[in-house]
Amino acid sequence: MKLSGRRILLIIGGGIAAYKSLDLIRRLRERGALVRVVMTQAATNFITPLAAGALSADHVFLDLFDRTDEQDVGHIRLARECDLVLVAPATADLMAKAAHGLANDLASTVLLATDRPVLMAPAMNPKMWSNKATQRNLATLQADGVHVIGPATGEMAESCEAGVGRMVEPTAIADAVEVHLTPSAQPLRGKKIIVTSGPTHEPIDPVRYLANRSSGRQGHAIAEALSKLGADVVLIRGPVAIPDPVGPKTIQVETARQMLAAVEAQLPSDAAIMVAAVADWRPESEGGEKIKKKVGESTPSFALIENPDILRTVGHHRQRPALVIGFAAETQNLIDNAQAKLARKGADFIVANDVSTETGIMGGTRNQVRLVSKAGVEEWPELDKTQVAERLARRVADFFVNEIIEI
């Protein structure tokens, strides 16, 4: 019971995901936590205070101006008599109030008055989540030190709606609470780790480019998994169509040369995990104008030159991190190519995967990898890319805890 005796103040916002908060109370109490609940008035339209009170075995707080609760400035006690404030679901309205310091009900007043860590689990319609106002509020909250988990991708309560906006599952939220309140759950605290992700785009002319078929999902998942273990993660990513992960600092680049410069600017670091599918070549010269197709003229041609090898540069750098991990995306001779890459690039590990068209790995949501080192080859089962990321993050943690990873 890792949360034994820990006091959690759970603020339940007014969204359909509030029903999950009842299960969340159970999950937290199963781990030994003491849970006290604040509900917004909107939340009472989805679940009852009676249900929340029965599960938490405590009084449920609803009103900022409750005559009984406020006799001894109850909202200040609530804000301070806890180890962590958890907001689940964190609606767009609650996030906006917290970002702008508004305090016109009990929940927002507690958030303004607390000096304890705050963890939010957003839940809202995908359009609301992607709205520029919500993203500005999210950035403000994170800059202020608020921790955020999710939202997840999936079906919404509204018919025919899907996207990013679902509140993550109660078990995952309880795990995140453990990470924030249990020092041993953050074995990478104090470690700086560089992660690269996504493709690079090498311009041919103002409208065309060379690139690889990378979605960035695996690199983003690894960056987030390392962050959850306490690492100070810098994610350097190429052009992708997925949201940036919560937690890591993100630097956006376009070309291989920009990515290399960004990586070197972050050295020294404790580890570097080079996941990005960097274009091996770029056009020798970039056209200043769009290359036009003209009837009767021959097809234009252009010369290619080699891009810098980012993994090899880091693997042999004078400020080489203690741990360097590269990725090998191959369509043939997977292990042989990965072992050759391990030696040539100066890496400690190569995460090798077969990205042949029939595997669906490149751009997909699942992956099957082999972890290649001087000690041998370990074959992992096919997993969701998030599971691959979590497994690799634990190996990184083992390296720094035990000073060597055993395969």
Residue 235 phi, psi (nearest 5): -100, 120
Is 7-185 a CATH 3.90.1150.10 domain?
A: no
Residue 396 has pLDDT above 80, yes or no: yes
Average pLDDT across the chain, whole number: 88
CA dist 180 and 163 (Å) reads 27
Q: Among the residues of 31-184, which ranges form H helices?
A: 49-56, 74-80, 92-100, 106-113, 126-130, 132-143, 170-181
Is 302 labelled a binding residue?
no
Cβ atoms of 316 and 308 within 8 Å: the answer is no
State the amino acid at position 42 in one-letter form.
A
Higher pLDDT, 247 or 121: 121
- Closest CA relative to residue 238, chosen from 264, 256, 263: 256
Helix (H, G, I), strand (E, B) or coil at 170: helix
Q: Per-residue DSSP letters for 277-318? A: B--SEEESS--SSPPPP-TTSPPP---EEEPP-HHHHHHT-T
Place of tokens 């041993």: 184
398 is in an annotated binding site: no
Binding site annotation covers 311? yes
Contacts for 394 with CB less than 8 Å, ≥ 6 apart? 229
* 249 is an annotated ligand-binding site residue: no
Q: What value does the mean pLDDT take over residues 210-239? A: 93
What's the rounded mean pLDDT across residues 296-305?
84
345 is in an annotated binding site: yes
For the chain, which residues make up each domain, given as ranges? 7-185, 192-402
Residue 290 is assigned to a ligand binding site: yes
Pairwise pLDDT comparison (366 vs 261), residue with the higher score: 261
Q: How confident is the model at residue 10 (pLDDT cuts 50, 70, 90)?
A: very high
* 271 SS3 class: strand
pLDDT score of 407: 32
Nearest-angstrom CA–CA distance, 110 and 103 = 8
For residues 69 and 39, is the Cβ–Cβ distance under 8 A?
no
Was domain 192-402 assigned CATH 3.20.20.150? Answer: no
Q: Which residues carry out catalysis?
A: 212
pLDDT in tens, 316-350: 999 999 999 999 887 788 899 999 999 999 999 99
Q: Cα separation of 65 and 4, whole Å?
A: 32
User: Distance between CA atoms of 2 and 85, rounded to whole angstroms?
Assistant: 17
Q: Is 390 left (phi over 0), alpha (psi -120 to 50) or beta?
A: alpha
Residue 145: partners with Cβ closer than 8 Å, 6 or more residues away: 117, 118
Task: State percent of the chain over pLDDT 70.
Answer: 92
Is the whole model's pTM more than 0.75, yes or no? no
Average pLDDT, integer, range 259-280 = 97
Per the annotation, does 327 bind a ligand? yes
Enumerate the β-bridge partners of residue 281: 306
Q: Is the pLDDT of residue 129 over 60?
A: yes
